[in-house]
Amino acid sequence: MDKVFNLIIQHKKTVLFIFLLAAALCAVLALKVPVNYNLVDYLPKDAQSTTAIELIKDEFEGDLPNARVMLTNVSITEALDYKEKISAIDGVLSVTWLDDIIGLNTLRTTPLEFLDISLVKNYFSDNNALMTLSIESGKESDAVKSIYELIGENNAASGEAINIAKTQEMAVSEVLNAMALLIPIIVIILILSTTSWIEPLLFLSTIGIAVVINMGTNIMYDNISFITLTVSPILQLAVSMDYAIFLLHSFSSFRTSYDHKKAMILAMKESLPTVAASAATTLIGFAALIFMRFGIGADLGLNLLKGVALSFISVMVFLPALTLISYKAIDRTRHVKFIPSFKKTGNILMRLRIPFLILALIILAPCFLAQSSVEFLYGAGNITKASRVGKDAALIEEKFGEENVLVLLVPKENAGKETELCDALLEIPRVTSLVSYVTSVGSEIPREFVPEDVIKQFYSQNYSRIIIYTDTEEEGRVTFDTIQSVINTAEKYYDTHYLAGQSATLYDMKNVVSKDTGLVNLIAVIGIFIVLLITFRSLSLPFILLFTIETAIWINLSIPYFTGSALNFVGYLIINTVQLGATVDYAILMTNMYLNNRKALNKKDAMRITLADNLPAVLTSAGILSTAGFALALSSSNPIISELGTLLGRGTLLSLGMVALVLPALLVLFDKLIQKDPINKKEWN
């Protein structure tokens, strides 16, 4: 490695130029990376709702409905005029209204009182018309904007596509807002923990360039999710800042005895194993996300893997070059160390270690059980509650009642079996009505006497389409129980059946995520256990360190259960791996230093000195990561991102507390066990 280090130092200006050029190019490319705002697209291709959506696209005209528009104080003629104008908007694939169900001619020539009232009320009530739209994926933003311009303030629009459009609008400034809040706080933390005014700028420049390059290289993907767009830059900045701090602190230490070039080579050699080990645990945590069947895991996991790898390269290549060019400025801007000695703090923490260990053991079981019983949210409906979208949804619900539409596809067989199925579906609690050929037209009427445009609404070449109206919310226990009842009923009559609709998709999402959770956590724990095993060459220490961080994770995730609040599944899945992968470094640092001090000191004195000497470094790292989390929570108007930020900020502080208060007790308590470790016995006094 000496040749590589020397090469970097000899060509420091070239290295600087290459990184700056790459960053400039990637900054431009980052603006061209397509962003996907629809979490449904990340479901496995074999999910039944995904198959149903594809069949509807292939077999029926139009697409699956994903929006509703309510027109107030309109006549039948005015409603039909609005329908024609909405249909002409770019991105609107289809608009379904009463005329599509009973036929346009029938609607125009038959008085409403002679039509089936139970059918009509779903579409027209008290001079309010409710239309169902299919909006093309990827065109939600422009289409919804045009819809709002057409219908004005007095009418309303809601639904999945409207939520996606609003989410897209909200996400545009999310990263900038979070960075604007985060960077000044990080600068303050770094100023307090360093001895030069310019060092924080070197840290931020090094990781900032890696972040920009990571965002620009996302151009290699078809698209990235809005969650990755918002979360990835913040997480990358927060989890990899330590790497730069390790290297520059090592450089400062060697500067007291060597010239700047020699000091940097020694610093690079000394920092490489530490930075590599730190990056490895973080990478394993992120890599575990890739094994999720739900595609958001791979989307975010791959992006963060690439980001951490780029940060590692930037720290080991770009930062040495930048530092050697700037070392005179570093010397000129020296200031006194602001962080006081932690010698007394070490003594205090040693006295508190047993009470906190007992407390941790007492709450361990309740927190583990509670975090496994948290209620999850899977949809994006809560994102828009405070906006016009949320108000419009409430207005539509007020006029037409709570309505959740499902689309059931069954093989096109005999009308008698379809009639029996429809009768059985109507007996399911929370199913208010349904629309099918046999209920709207009648199984006794020959199809040759029915207009072709009406038949196409219900029958394709292979399937019959049944539209089911329920009075459930978008998601929740009652909703998912209703969906399961619909599926069970369909199974009694048909071997093949598919259910589509937003709630059906969320039901599939719930089932997929439930399986993903255990797998991802297991992979992360096993991977990090192996890294710890190799790092310490000890069988007992990996258990002690994992217990410390996992307890912090369980406490963090149990809080929503004890406060009676639901938690978005994205935050739950991500925080398990991120908190473990990123904060286990604190435990590794403390344990390493304790083992070194233990060679010359008794166990209690070794731990006191370890806490006094290393707590400032852990506080700096935890301060940056927790600040990143809380910056996301405060700056994001998207509850999914905000929740994740809160979990990250709170989880980091809990990990810090466990490392500072409980880990010392465990290392001292199991000191003899660590000495007698069968893999690598220690020889201590």
State the DSSP string of 389-443: HHHHHHHHHHHH---EEEEEEEE---HHHHHHHHHHHHTSTTEEEEE-HIIIIIT
Q: Is 508 among the domain residues?
A: no
Q: Verify that 551 and 639 share a domain, yes or no.
A: yes
CATH number for the domain harbouring residue 648? 1.20.1640.10
Same domain, 557 and 650: yes
Distances (CA, A) of 144 to 79, 162, 404: 18, 6, 20
- Of the chain, the end-to-end C-alpha distance in Å amounts to 36
CA-based nearest residue to 473, from 101, 158, 138, 119:
158
Q: How many C-alpha atoms does 439 have within 13 Å on its Cβ side? A: 24
- Phi first, then psi, for residue 31 (nearest 5°) are -70, -15
Residue 358 confidence (pLDDT): 94
Determine the pLDDT at residue 247. Answer: 86
The predicted structure's pLDDT at residue 22: 96
- Domain membership flag for residue 177: no
Q: Structure tokens of 628?
A: 């990143």
CA distances from residue 316 to 309, 323, 620 in whole angstroms, order as listed? 11, 11, 20
Question: How distant is the alpha carbon of residue 603 from its chain centre?
Answer: 42
Q: Which residues pair with 158 in a beta bridge?
A: 68
> What does DSSP assign to residue 679?
S
pTM for the model stands at 0.81
Rounded Cα distance, 480 and 628, in Å: 35
Residue 453's alpha-carbon distances to 63, 414, 437, 647, in angstroms, are 16, 20, 12, 52
41 assigned to some structural domain? no
Shared domain check, 122 and 151: yes
The number of helix segments (H) and strand segments (E) in the chain equals 28, 13
My answer on whether 324 and 345 are in the same domain is no
Q: What residues contact residue 306 under an 8 Å CB cut-off, 6+ apart? A: 214, 217
Q: Is the same domain home to 569 and 432?
A: no
CA–CA distance, 119 with 122 (Å, rounded to integer): 6
Question: In the structure encoding, which two tokens stand for residue 685, read together?
Answer: 């006094």
Structure-token pair, residue 353: 């270690």
**Structure letter (DSSP) for residue 196:** B
Question: Would 211 be classed as within a structural domain?
Answer: yes
User: Does residue 490 sit in the same domain as residue 559?
Assistant: no
pLDDT of the residue at 251: 86
Phi, psi of 334 (to 5 degrees): -65, 145
Cα distance between residue 478 and residue 564, in whole Å: 17
Q: Does a structural domain hold residue 661?
A: yes
State the total domains in the chain: 3
Name the residue range of residue 454's domain.
52-172+385-503
Examine residue 39 and state whether it is found in any structural domain, yes or no: no
> Do residues 147 and 86 lie in contact, with contact meaning Cβ atoms separated by under 8 Å?
yes
Quick one: 295 and 362 in the same domain? no
Residues 483 and 394 in one domain: yes
Evaluated on CA atoms 68, 69, 75, 79, the torsion sign reads: negative
**Dihedral class, residue 126 (left if φ above 0, else alpha if ψ from -120 to 50, else beta):** left
Residue 589 and residue 656: Cα distance in Å, rounded?
12
Residues 308 and 402 in one domain: no
Q: What are the residue ranges in the chain where pLDDT is below 70?
A: 61-63, 170-174, 341, 380-387, 440-454, 678-685
Encoded tokens for 487: 């599926």
Q: Are 620 and 544 in contact (CB under 8 A)?
A: no
The amino acid present at 356, given as its one-letter code, is F
How many Cα atoms within 13 Å fall on the side-chain side of residue 300?
Answer: 31
Strands 431-435, 124-125: pairing is unpaired
pLDDT confidence of residue 392: 86
Same domain, 14 and 57: no
The CA-atom distances, in angstroms, between 253 and each of 246, 260, 558, 564 are: 11, 11, 43, 50
Asked whether residue 317 falls in the same domain as residue 368, the answer is: no
From the list 667, 529, 660, the residue with the least C-alpha distance to 596 is: 667
Among 550, 656, 659, 652, residue whose Cα is nearest residue 607? 659
Beta bridge partners of 124: 129
Torsion of CA 668, 671, 673, 675, to 10 degrees: 160
Measured distance CA(23)–CA(631) in Å, rounded: 24
Q: Are residues 541 and 644 in the same domain?
A: yes
Residue with tokens 């599944």: 569
Inside any domain, residue 424: yes
pLDDT in the model for residue 98: 84
Domain annotation covers residue 516: no
